[in-house]
Structure 1
Amino acid sequence: MIIIKRVNLLGVATLHDFIYAKQKSPTKCLANQMSKDIKAIQCPKCGSTSKQEIKPDFYQCQNCQTEYFLDSDDTHVYHHHERVPPVQSSAPPGSTKLPVYILIGAVAFIAVVYFITMLFQPKRSSYNAISTYKIPRSYRSSFVYTNTATGEPVYLRLGTDYIDKGNNQSEKEYHAQFNNALNGKLIADRIVDNDDQNQNDCSLTFKTYAPDMIYAIGCNSQISKLDTRNNKLINVTKSIFKDYPQLSSGVARLDFDYDKAMINVMNNEGESYHYFPAINKLVKSDAEANAVWKKAYNAKHYFEFGYMGDYFDHHKVNQLIEIKYFKEAGQLLKRDLTPGRKYFSPVILYQDEKNLLIVVNTTAAPEPPLSIQRIDVQTGKILWALPPDKYYLSSVAKYKQGFAIEYRKGEEADYVHGVMVVSDAGKLVYNYQLSRTE
């Protein structure tokens, strides 16, 4: 065995370093000693010179734990390396869990969104459950009047609700809806307790005998009274004739008479009568009706369109005629209120002792725009006229500050309808307009 000085990685000898070289024979040892170079023994795996002898000529690298030995004068270096397994952590690597966390988060997000959606979704009844859905109301009749307590115009509309009860079953409700024509606000929506109206969906025809006496006829034999103070429609078919034995068999037919302030009545036995609601009187013959008419109405003052000349004139024209009847003198006075004025298809919309509203076609052409005009009942002059328009006009009411006029337009305006509220001076105060389906 020869002791050789330890050298650093650059081959330079240093103190305290040593290696052991094993020679095959003592004779070669001295001979070879002079021919060998001095080299540092390095780990064949990582090149480190840091080592520990574990038995003669066997070493272990302190850097990578490789074991090696020297053979044939350090000509061959053999090594044996065992990889030291890495120290296992108690927690798995974070990178391997990242996709799992993403998946769990996505599932949780979907669950939260689904829960919120179901929470705020309207509840639906099952197929066989009773549904509260109602088909839009089908309106059949309407009328504008003045509330005698407030003096404001009210728009009354009557229609049927078809309530779906499920299982192909439905129920009908007949409603009377009252709206303030000055602003459109709902006053009341009442169910009308009338079996005939509910079953037959009859339209109603109204007639005013006094501001607080308005009647409506429907289904030919049903009569109702409009409570103008409390905004109610009351069926009075049984009560209105209860004091007349002539009608004890029941009412077969009712009709408003537009020449006199009376109602024509036929009982179930086919007998006809005339009823005057203002004085609560029932008579049998036309002669009796004429006598009551002359006696009950001492003086009459009204306007109508007609012709004061001979009936057989070839050039008859429309004239606005003022008529006054005085019972005491037995006189019937007539005068042309607007002499020389030409009218195309004129109609009187509203009249009382102080007010007169008419509507006329603006030209002789078919279906021209209409003109609504207020006429001075003393002079016949036009006080004001609304802008010409195309519409159909029906009921009109005089309220404390002007007029309420019910109208409906045609296809070109998609059948809009409602009530125009006009001041005494002719200014449009409010147009309570509804769409076709309202």
Structure 2
Amino acid sequence: MARDIKAIQCPKCGSIFKQEIKPEFYRCQNCQTEYFLDSDDTHVYHHHERAKPVQSSAPPVNPKLPVYVLIGAVAFIAIVYITTMLLQPKKSATNSYITYKPRRSYQSSFVYTNTATGDPVYLRMGVDYIDKGNGKSEQELHAQFNNAMDGKLIADRLMTDESMRNNRCSLTFKIYSPDMVYAIGCNSVLLQLDTRNNRLTDVTQSTFKDYPKLSSGVAKLDFDYSKPMINVMNNEGETFYYFPAVKKLVDTQTEADKIWKQIYNARRYFEFGYMGDYFDDNKVNQLLEVKYIKGADQNLKRDLTPGRKYFGPAIIYQDENNLMIVVNTTAAPDPPMSIQKIDTETGKILWALPPDKFYLSQVVKCKQGYAIEYRKDEEADYVHGVMVVSDSGKLIHNYQLSRTE
């Protein structure tokens, strides 16, 4: 008997889309019902099993649970924020701003040797501007101490003198001995540098309190660079002369000369001058050795380097056995400069650093050799710092800072 050709439909959903899984056995691609055909019958037999749900140990999930969690989290954050604000102490109107602190502005510097360690120290005076808000600001004056060998900060001390802080006064320094260094600020403030503990202290009152002639107060102070003394003017316009080394105050230049001769009667020192007549047409710079002869009450001078020509010379360091000078390398305007160490007996050049353009402020003896404070001009963007040079003239370290540092 011939078999009719009919479209085979799923007995469950009627779909004709199927997959043959073995001869005359099919799976409906729509509802997954399995069925087969009898070759002698037109019946379709089917078998369908509903897929079992995957078993899970977790309890049934509430579809609204994520919403509840989100609402709870927001509520918790809000409660914590409100509680924190309520418990926070109230701030006054003057403290409600944000403090802004710009870069420190430096105004004067000085290199010296720490008498406890022997290391060179770079002291810089700087002002901090603190923005207080509402157009108001405050100034803080700081004495900053750095080790010139490695640049590490030793101390940063706040200066409390109101006049110096408000007027941003630069300081001038003078060394009377390795452990006796003074500075003058604002023309009338005397400060002493503690070279052991790296501290700068106002000693104006304590230094002059025992002198009745200064009871009216100090109007002006000046370092005298021809003698180891300080010129002092009181508020009545009277001038006096103070010797820190012996703590003596005198009224006249004659008395000052007498004290100087008593203290330095055997002193030998060096200077640039001219041994000939002042009115000579061909005056030249001469490096002179000067010895004070006490019996004759006069200075004996000797040309240490006869025949040598100097351009713009200056002595930058001297003691009984050491002498350092700086000279222009040529007669041209603004030439490079040469730092040289001179033999104090023969006048020979022991060594010279490579010529360079800079301004020298201070040279001190340290355990490494010499510490030389310098500053360069606009061609080098005003870099500055301290060069440490050995006794043999070798550059050991250059603690260099940029213009804004």
| TM interval, short-chain normalised | 0.7 to 0.9
Corresponding residue SS for 1:288: helix
Q: Per the alignment, in what secondary structure is the counterpart of residue 128 of structure 2?
A: strand
Instruction: Give the percent of matched residue pairs that are identical in Structure 1 and Structure 2.
Output: 67
Q: How far apart, in 2, do the equivalents of 1:51 and 1:164 lie?
A: 101
Shift, 1:140, TM fit:
0.6
Q: Helix, strand or coil: the match of 1:289?
A: helix
Is 1:210–2:177 an aligned residue pair? yes
**Is 1:255–2:217 an aligned residue pair?**
no
Q: Would you say the 8 A contact 1:300–1:326 is kept in 2?
A: no
User: What's the counterpart of residue 22 of structure 2?
Assistant: none
Match of 1:62 in 2: 44
> Partner residue of 2:348?
381
Q: For the residues of structure 1 that align with 2:202 and 2:273, how far apart are their CA atoms?
A: 37
1:180 shift after superposition: 1.1
TM-score, structure 1 as length reference: 0.73
Label 1:49 to 1:204 Cα distance change in 2 as closer, same or farther (>3 A): closer
Q: Are residues 1:220 and 2:202 paired?
A: no
Q: Select the residue among 376, 385, 390 that pairs with 1:409.
A: 376
Please name the residue that 2:257 is paired with.
290
Which residue identity does 1:205 align to in structure 2? T
Question: What residue identity is the alignment partner of 1:241?
Answer: F
Corresponding letter in the other structure for 2:383: V
Judged with a 3 Å threshold, the aligned counterparts in structure 2 of structure 1 residues 163 and 430 are, in CA distance, closer, same or farther, namely same
> What residue is the counterpart of 2:363 in the other structure?
396
Matched, 1:171 2:153: no
CA 44–327 in structure 1, closer or farther in 2 if over 3 Å, else same: closer
> Residue 272 of structure 2: SS of its match in structure 1?
strand
- Tell me the distance in 2 between the aligned counterparts of 1:298 and 1:215: 23
Secondary structure of the 1:415 match is coil
Q: Partners in 1 of 2:164 and 2:279 — Cα distance?
A: 46
How far is the alpha carbon of 1:274 from its aligned partner?
0.9
Report the Cα offset of residue 331 of structure 1: 3.4
Question: Within 5 Å, which residues of 2 pair with 1:24-423?
Answer: 40=3, 43=6, 62=44, 129-423=96-390
Q: CA-atom RMSD, angstroms?
A: 2.6
SS at match of 1:363: coil
Q: In 2, distance between residues paired with 1:44 and 1:339?
A: 132
- 1:428 Cα deviation from its structure 2 partner: 0.5
1:21-57 deviation digits (Å, cap 9, x = unpaired): xxxxxxxxxxxxxxxxxxx4564776998699xxxxx
For 2:268 and 2:106, how far apart are their aligned partners in 1?
A: 36
What TM-score do you get using the length of structure 2 for normalisation?
Answer: 0.78
Over 3 Å counting, the alpha-carbon distance change for 1:62 and 1:153 in structure 2 is same
State the alpha-carbon separation in 1 of the partners of residues 37 and 96 from structure 2.
91
1:45 to 1:351, Cα distance in 2 relative to 1, 3 A: closer
Q: Which has the larger radius of gyration?
A: 1
Residues 227, 233 of structure 1: 8 Å contact kept: yes
Instruction: Give the distance between the partners of 2:401 and 2:252, measured in 1 at CA.
Output: 45
3-state SS, counterpart of residue 339 of structure 1: coil
Q: Deviations over 1:127-175 (max 9, x none)?
A: x844344211111111111111111111111111112233333221111
**2:368–2:388 Cα contact (<8 Å) kept:** no
CA distance in 1, matches of 2:209, 2:7: 132
1:42–1:49 contact (8 Å) kept in structure 2 = no
Summarize deviations over 1:239-284 as a string: whole Å, max 9, x none: 1101001111111111111111111111111111111111111111
What is aligned with 1:425? 392
CA contact (8 A) 1:43 1:49 kept: no
Q: Secondary structure at the match of 1:311?
A: coil
Q: Distance in 2 between matches of 1:142 and 1:49?
A: 109
Pairs aligned (count): 340
SS at match of 2:397: strand
Paired with 2:348 and 2:4, the residues of 1 have a C-alpha distance of 137
Alpha carbons 1:133, 1:164 under 8 Å: kept = yes
In the TM superposition, what whole-angstrom CA distance separates every residue of 1:194-228 from its partner, at most 9, and x where no partner exists? Answer: 11111111000000111111100010111100001
CA distance in structure 1 between the aligned counterparts of 2:52 and 2:233, rounded to whole angstroms: 108
CA distance in 1, matches of 2:348, 2:120: 27
Determine if contact 2:148/2:399 at 8 Å carries over to the other structure.
Answer: yes
Shift of 1:433: 0.7
Aligned counterparts of 1:229 and 1:143: Cα–Cα separation in 2: 15
2:85 aligned residue: none
Q: Which residue of 1 aligns with 2:82?
A: none
Q: Corresponding residue for 1:67?
A: none
Aligned AA (2:310): Y
Shift in Å, 1:88 = 10
Q: SS where residue 238 of structure 1 aligns?
A: helix
Q: Give the CA deviation at 1:329.
A: 3.5
Query: Hey, what does 1:3 align to over in structure 2?
Result: none
Amino acid across the alignment from 1:418: G
Which one-letter code corresponds to 1:62 in the other structure?
A: V
Change beyond 3 A, Cα 1:42–1:430: closer
